[in-house]
Amino acid sequence: MSQQHSVTAPLSQGQLSGYVHSTESGAGVDGPGMRFVFFMSGCQFRCQYCHNPDTWKLHAGRQLTVDEALAELAPYAGFLKFAGGVTISGGEPLMQPEFVGALLRGIKQRYGLHTALDTQGFLHESVSDGWLEAVDLVLLDIKHSDPERYQQITGQPLQPTLDFAQRLKRLGKPIWLRYVLVPGLTDATDDIARLADYVAELGSIVQRVEVLPFHQMGAAKWAQLGMAYPLADTPTPDAVAVAAARALFAARGLTVC
């Protein structure tokens, strides 16, 4: 009597599932033009000024397959082809590299849209150079130039993020650098100048630098989660401070927004 062995077929790319915290269909600040944004669940950072602490847990949000996620994008694809594209944000997208990679490839293959990855790059070693081929633009968040202060702000070391920036330079992958200006935390002139020097050395891949003024919009989420917000008494930086920070980047020949 012959024996039959059952073999579990591997999941197709479209059947891979991940956790999506939320989506936004008309974002104007997450890459060029109008963006459809997938906010992924999960982040290993605990940034003091995080405005999405509800995305920290990996299994927060909805579990979707790649095909289901692409179906949610479908009604907007025709418009986005000419008006902008798709951004994968979080949380931290690299917490779910297999799902996010398949989603990025699906966006390219099915809709041919511009793609952006919003990341701090800490987990970049979990993905290959080939994985990054489906990414047109990296929105790279470098939160401080001093390793000790970076660790204080995020709970994680700085070096992996700097290594990721060098990897993007090697690959010639375009970057929009993002820097959150927080009074008393990230606004020291010497610290910003040090980061500006580093970013300028990355060369022409840095298409722009965005200096983002700190705000208190995330405070309510911390309260809803029953967590003490460490920056509850921190003000929004004034226009003079924001202009001064932007001028430090611009002085290195960088395009600043």
The domain locations on the chain are: 13-250
**Section 171-197 average pLDDT:** 97
Confidence category of residue 2, pLDDT binned at 50, 70, 90: very low
- 137 vs 2, more confident: 137
Classified as helix, coil or strand, 91 is coil
Show Cβ contacts of residue 239 under 8 Å, excluding neighbours closer than 6 positions: none
CATH code at 13-250: 3.20.20.70
Residue that has been written with the tokens 């927004």 in this structure: 257
Residue pair 180/212 in contact by the 8 Å Cβ criterion: yes
Show Cβ contacts of residue 225 under 8 Å, excluding neighbours closer than 6 positions: 53, 54
For the cut 80, the answer to whether the pLDDT of residue 154 exceeds it is yes
The pLDDT value recorded for residue 6 is 41
Show Cβ contacts of residue 55 under 8 Å, excluding neighbours closer than 6 positions: 21, 39, 40, 41, 42, 43, 61, 90, 91
- 4-55 pLDDT, tens digit per residue, is 444 444 567 888 999 999 999 988 789 999 999 999 999 999 999 888 888 9
